[in-house]
């Protein structure tokens, strides 16, 4: 895997919208927050485009913004405005050689799981499941700065655990490459040319508005597709955006039912992706260690060069 360069103070961050159109006021608020953190956000030409339908402009413009951001040597990192739907449309038109030749920090979640999968599979690039401009940085408590700095600005080992919401659903210890993203987008990629390489490490899955039976169904789909055959451990996200508090127990029982024959440890509650506040930045494609034997802990061993 190719490690992007760490972001330094004053880094220039390209702001892109590969999927749905973002609200101008939220993008502006998010960019202001990034400036307050010492970065120079650079709004790409079509980042605020709208249409057709709910997209941030046509495919050609969204692809052009991504390619320009990677090719521009003055740009240090790329952050998406929001998710929604649309990133998968870009996949046939992305230039793997261009991206491999210009590796940079790329941050997003939700619909951008399709881009994370593509960048790992075809460009071998470590990417980041983390806060977006309009969705998270626009809110005072939307992004977890500590994990952002550890993942993207540092270079050594670091960890998340109980303080970040992680707790034990099934105990155990596992090691391997950390990968994953939004459950529904991950499942929808199966059977396409963009199916992810089956994980042989720690698989992270999260989503929004996904009911217990839907988690059960989609985890079964992953099992039948062979995606869990070599997985050593599973980390699930914060479920408060999926079901209300009174359904949390049912959701956890549905998950354990779907994973009845999974031998490795299973954690739940990690606050990354679709969360109410404090969105964590998690590196995808790096070595990790999941320890659910006592106090829940997830270690990462460097994600940037």
For the chain, domain boundaries: 12-143, 158-301
Query: Which pLDDT value is given to residue 16?
Result: 98
Q: What is the pTM of this model?
A: 0.97
Give the CA diameter of the chain: 51
Does residue 295 register a pLDDT over 90? Answer: no
pLDDT of residue 79: 98
pLDDT band at 303 (very low <50, low <70, confident <90, very high): confident
Flag whether pLDDT at 214 surpasses 80. yes
Q: Which of 114, 274, 287, 288 is catalytic?
A: 274
Q: Is residue 206 annotated as part of the catalytic site, yes or no?
A: yes
Q: Which residues, in sequence order, are bridge partners of residue 79?
A: 15, 107
Residue 33: pLDDT over 90: yes
Q: Where are the alpha helices (DSSP H) in 133-247?
A: 145-148, 183-188, 212-224
**Mean pLDDT, range 90-106, rounded to an integer:** 98
CATH superfamily, domain at 12-143: Murein tetrapeptidase LD-carboxypeptidase, N-terminal domain (3.40.50.10740)
> 204: which strand partners?
180, 235
Catalytic choice (138, 184, 206, 272): 206
DSSP lists the bridge partners of residue 20 as 55
- Whether 274 is catalytic is yes
pLDDT digits (tens, 9 = 90+) for 110-145: 999 999 999 999 999 999 999 999 999 999 999 999
Q: State mean pLDDT over 270-277.
A: 96
What are the tens digits of pLDDT across the range 168-193? 999 999 999 999 999 999 999 999 99
Q: State the pLDDT at residue 294.
A: 81
Task: Give the model's pLDDT for residue 210.
Answer: 97
158-301 adopts what CATH topology? Answer: Glucose Oxidase; domain 1 (3.50.30)
Query: Does the annotation count 257 as an active-site position?
Result: no
Mean pLDDT, to the nearest integer, of 9-17? 97
Residue 255's pLDDT is 98
Name the average pLDDT for the chain.
Answer: 96
| Residue (of 85, 298, 91, 31) closest to 208 by Cα position | 85
pLDDT at 155 over 80: no
Share of the chain above pLDDT 70, in %: 100
Give residue 199's pLDDT: 86
């Amino acid at each position: 895997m190719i490690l992007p360069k760490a972001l330094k103070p004053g880094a220039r961050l390209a702001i892109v919208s590969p999927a749905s159109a973002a609200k101008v006021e939220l993008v502006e608020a998010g960019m202001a927050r990034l400036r307050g953190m010492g970065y120079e956000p650079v709004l790409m030409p079509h980042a605020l485009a709208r249409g057709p339908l709910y997209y941030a402009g046509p495919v050609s413009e969204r692809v052009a913004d991504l390619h320009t951001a990677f090719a521009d040597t003055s740009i240090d990192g790329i952050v998406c405005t929001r998710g929604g739907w649309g990133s998968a449309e870009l996949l046939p038109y992305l230039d793997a050689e261009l991206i491999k030749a210009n590796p940079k920090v790329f941050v997003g979640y939700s619909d951008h799981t399709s881009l994370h999968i593509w960048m790992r599979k075809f460009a071998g690039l470590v990417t980041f499941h983390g806060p977006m401009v309009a969705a998270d940085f626009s809110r005072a408590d939307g992004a977890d700065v500590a994990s952002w700095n550890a993942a993207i600005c540092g270079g050594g080992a670091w960890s998340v655990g109980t303080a970040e919401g992680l707790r034990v659903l099934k105990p155990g210890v596992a090691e391997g490459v950390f990968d994953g993203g939004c459950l529904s987008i991950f499942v929808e990629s199966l059977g396409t040319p963009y199916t992810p390489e089956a994980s042989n490490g720690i698989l992270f899955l999260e989503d929004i508005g996904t009911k217990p039976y839907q988690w059960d169904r989609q985890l079964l789909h992953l099992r039948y597709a062979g995606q869990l055959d070599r997985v050593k451990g599973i980390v699930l996200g914060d479920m408060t955006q999926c079901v209300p508090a009174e359904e949390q127990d049912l959701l956890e029982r549905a998950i354990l039912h779907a994973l009845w024959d999974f031998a490795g440890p299973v954690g739940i509650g990690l606050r990354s992706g679709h969360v109410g506040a404090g969105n964590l930045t998690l590196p995808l494609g790096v070595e990790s260690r999941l320890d659910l034997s006592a106090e829940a802990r997830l270690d990462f061993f460097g994600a940037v060069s």
